[in-house]
Amino acid sequence: MRSDKPWLPLEETQLERIGAQLGVFELGDVWGRVLYIGAADARSLFGLRGELERRIGSAARFRFEVNTAYKTRQQELLMVHFAENGRYPELNTELETRGLGRLS
């Protein structure tokens, strides 16, 4: 299942309203292309807000889901992206996508 959350500008003022929960997020460009799929895991000091704050400037927009199953949800989003586009988002590293399964 792909994310259907609304895109928001990746700016400080937007992030102030986001909690420090665990979850997943996507970074995108102004055309709605997904550039990166990440997770705020239990090691993130300030959860989603912290993970997004340190990525300001790397993308135009973001969207997020609060989700305690952040690990499997991130894997699912990456796999769905691959199934639809034939490749992973360009900012995800090989380490983040190594060993992922395939949907068809």
The footprint of other proteins (CB under 8 A) covers 1, 41-43, 68-73, 75-76, 79, 99-104
Cα gap 58→23, rounded to integer Å: 19
DSSP letter for each residue of 36-73: EEEEE-TT-TTHHHHHHHTTTTS-SEEEEEE-TTHHHH
Cβ closest to other proteins, residue 17 vs residue 43: 43
Query: Which lies closer to other proteins via its Cβ, residue 93 or residue 104?
Result: 104
Residue 34 backbone phi and psi in degrees, to 5: -80, 125
CB nearer other proteins, residue 6 or residue 99: 99
Looking at the Cβ atoms of 60 and 100, the one nearer to other proteins is 100
Q: How far is the CB of 68 from other proteins (least distance, A)?
A: 6
Residue bearing tokens 């400037």? 57
* Minimum gap (Å) between residue 51 Cβ and other proteins: 13
Residues 83 and 102 sit within 8 Å (Cβ to Cβ): yes
Task: Map residue 21 onto helix, strand or coil.
Answer: coil
Q: How far is the CB of 100 from other proteins (least distance, A)?
A: 8
We find the least distance from the C-beta atom of residue 1 to other proteins, in angstroms, to be 7
